Amino acid sequence: MNHESAHHEPRPAEPAPLVRNRDYMLIVSAGVVSTLGAHMSRLALPLLALSLTATPVWAALLGAAQQLPYLLFSLPAGAWVDRVRRKPLLVACSLARFLLLGSIPLAYALGALSVPQLLVVVFATGVCTVLSEIADLAALPHVVHPSQLARARSVSEGIEAAAGILGPSVGGLIIGLGRTTVSGAALTFLVDSLSYLVAGCGLLGVRRPLQSPRRSAHPPIREAIRAGLRFLWRHPTLRPLMLLTTAVNFLQAPLALCALLVARDRAGLAPEQIGLVFGGAGCAALIGSALAGWLYRPSRVGPIVMAALGMWALSAAILALAGDAVVLTLGLALTYLVWPVYAVAVVSYRLEETPDALQGRVISAFRTLSYGAEPLGLALGGFCVALIGPALMFGAIAGGLLLCTAAAAGVRFGQKQAAGLGEAAGFRPETD
């Protein structure tokens, strides 16, 4: 069933190139600025926590607090995104993160920076991120032609990859400018906060509506959430994709923290050198994002998933043996290479299979498990790495990914949804 034609307004048969799509380019430009800032502070946060507390446990707990909103709020956020205007929501989330992240350098300047404040800030920032990411994905089919969805997602993954290269490198350099790691990290958060201010102002220029007209009354919030859950759970391909992605995110959640500990303690690298390691590995993600749109077809979802799981297991095994910057960069690069290809395949397939009126709820239901597993994996991984060290932790991650590969071998990927599945899930198309 072609949901795009059934639930979206007609678009030209010959769509204009993405670079000539004004609203799309505004959204992409906002994403470039904010994503670059986010990758800068992604390196700064664990280094700041390690400097303030001298233990990886708090660094892991702060990372978990940042991801916890995916578990707690994704479901109601998805239902909300399906019933509100998405552009004002995206702007408000950007401006809120500007204020929240700006409080970190302000507290440092006042001599009041503390771990409890960081917990509050990263958690609240995470709530804004949950809302904005769901709204951004749900709005995409209203900004680009259906035939351009995979290409547009490849661009998004390319932005993420490029930010993964530049962000840690620039972030490490900014941290190195400070007299201490704490002062340098505070400066990095200042830059990150300003990136969200720029992004929010840019989104104000988007002209077209980012949602379909809603001509019927909204169902109660619980029923709306259940409709999204039923649709996702009854879909023969989206359900196993969600479960596998959840397992992968849980296993890989402590991977970056373990790599940072290896870089700092075993390889003896300074913050700016650590940034270069993560930035250099991010070059592989840029390659992966360039390949993702070309590789994706609905019929290739299964082979892409199987290849990704096997390569992730190999990369974790390489990281378990890493003792210097070269091997560490190689292991991380292999992990980053695969993620854009996997993400474009999963997200594009999900967007194609989901009616617009259910987009926010299906995205949020998928992310409740898949992203919600990350804070649990990171918190547990932080305690485990404190007990057994990063090398054994990498080995455990590799073993878990091999089990996921074996489980995926028994799944028949690429099955299309059964006719009437949306109606069976409680979805009724809106009519004039």
Is the pLDDT at 215 greater than 70? The verdict is no
Q: What is the per-residue pLDDT for 9?
A: 44
Predicted pLDDT of residue 417: 55
Residue 169 pLDDT > 50:
yes
Does 3 have pLDDT greater than 60? no
d(CA 362, CA 180): 45
Note the pLDDT tens digit of each residue in 6-53: 344 444 456 778 888 888 888 888 888 888 888 888 888 888 988 888
Among 183-197, 216-230, 353-367, 377-391, which stretch is predicted with the lowest mean pLDDT? 216-230
For the chain, domains (ranges, CATH) are: 16-209+221-424 (1.20.1250.20)
pLDDT winner (highest mean) among 235-244, 261-270, 398-407: 398-407
> How would residue 165 be classed by pLDDT, with cut points 50, 70 and 90?
confident
Percent of the chain at pLDDT exceeding 70:
91
**What average pLDDT does the segment 251-273 reach?**
89
Which of 185, 178, 156, 183 is closest to 43 using CA atoms?
A: 185
pLDDT exceeds cutoff 80 at 284: yes
Phi first, then psi: give them for residue 215, nearest 5 degrees: -100, -5
Residue 379's pLDDT band (cuts 50, 70, 90): confident
Q: Which residue has the higher pLDDT, 116 or 1?
A: 116
| Residue 410: both structure tokens together | 């028994």
Lowest mean pLDDT among 146-150, 313-317, 383-387: 146-150
d(CA 367, CA 254): 18
Q: What is the pTM of this model?
A: 0.70
Q: Which residue, among 132, 413, 138, 134, has the nearest Cα to 296 in the 3D structure?
A: 413
Return mean pLDDT, the chain. 84
